[in-house]
Each structure stands twice: as C-alpha cells, then as structure tokens.
C-alpha cells in the first residue's frame, strides 16, 4: 500500500506548540502552507531533541568556509513566531523522526512517521476506506526558518513546570512533596 506523504517544501509556517497546562501538555509539530495544515503530536523529549539537533546542523554549516548557505548565527527577527497553534486536528502521533540536510536546496529536512502497532502489518486491520493507510510528514525548511523553529521549540519546552531545587522533580501547580533519595 502506498504511503500518504504530507509534504511541505517551502512552508508558510512550521512550529512546535502545545495544548494544555504544564504537566499535562500535548506537544504538536504543526506545518502550514496556504490552507493545508498538518499537526503531528510529539513527546516533549522529541521536541527538545529536534530543536537541539537542528541547531547542531546549523552550527556545523556555519563553520563551512564562507558560509555558502547563509546560515544565520541567531534567529532572524522577522522569522520569530510566538503565535498560538492554529486549529489542531491531530494527523498522527510521531514515533520515529529523522532529520537531515539537503544541500541542493539549502534546507533542513524533517521526516516524521507515526507510531505503529505490531498488528498494523496485518491486512485485516486496515479499513476498506483506507483510514489506516501508512503516512508520514515531510517538511523542508530554509535555514532561517529552521533557526527560528529551534529557538521557539526550546522556549516552548522550557516553559513547563519548574523543577524543585531539592529533589529535582517537577513542581505541580497544586503543590509538591519532595521525594528525596534514601541514604
């Protein structure tokens, strides 16, 4: 069965955002081009690692003699995006995510694949309407957009619950009881 690819070559917007309160947030990678919007659920750790690795790729590209891809050292002010997520309709929950660089277009490439169940390989689990057909998200973004994406994602991840200075566990809004290690 062919894979349904949600492809964005030069998206108008690509961000990580959340829905919910700290401690109960759902993270989304949301991409929009024109009226097409795709929202893929992520784990907080996936979001953080994605931002970290994008910055690593961009920082390595800056060191190439002459910076031929015009990689910015910081986020271009005109690309800062602090707006909320647009209407979220979850396409799938990301399992595997790959990150790459396309030197022919000077773009960072993100591929996200849904979490799959072991039973998904069984043809009997597929609906006749193709509701369970395999799919993926493919996003190509220029270097400035990628830098802005990484910065925003780090800020979103860091806006969670504060950490207790005594035990290192998150402090909930309704209180906290330290769980100290036994001596």
Q: Is 62 left (phi over 0), alpha (psi -120 to 50) or beta?
A: alpha
Give tens-digit pLDDT for 128-155.
Answer: 444 567 899 999 999 999 999 999 999 9
Tokens encoding 109: 């490439």
Is 53's pLDDT higher than 60?
Answer: yes
Helix residue ranges, H only, 28-164: 44-62, 143-158
Q: Is the whole-model pTM more than 0.75?
A: yes
Q: How many CB atoms lie within 10 A of CB 27?
A: 22
pLDDT given for residue 120 in this prediction? 47
């Amino acid at each position: 069965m062919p894979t349904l690819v949600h492809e964005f070559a030069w998206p108008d917007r690509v961000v990580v955002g959340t829905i919910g309160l700290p401690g109960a947030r759902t993270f989304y990678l949301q991409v929009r081009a024109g009226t097409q919007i795709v929202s893929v659920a992520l784990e907080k750790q996936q979001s953080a690692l994605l931002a970290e690795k994008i910055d690593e790729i961009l920082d390595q590209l800056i060191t190439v003699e002459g910076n031929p891809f015009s990689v910015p050292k910081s986020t271009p002010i005109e690309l800062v995006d602090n707006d909320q997520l647009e209407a979220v309709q979850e396409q799938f929950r990301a399992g595997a995510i790959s990150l790459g660089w396309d030197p022919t277009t000077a773009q960072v490439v993100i591929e996200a694949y849904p979490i799959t169940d072991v039973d998904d390989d069984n043809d009997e689990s597929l609906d006749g309407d193709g509701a369970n057909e395999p799919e993926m998200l493919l996003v190509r973004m220029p270097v400035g957009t990628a830098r802005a994406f990484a910065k925003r994602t780090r800020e979103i991840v860091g806006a969670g619950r504060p950490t207790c200075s005594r035990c290192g566990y998150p402090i909930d809004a309704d209180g906290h009881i330290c769980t100290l290690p036994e001596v």
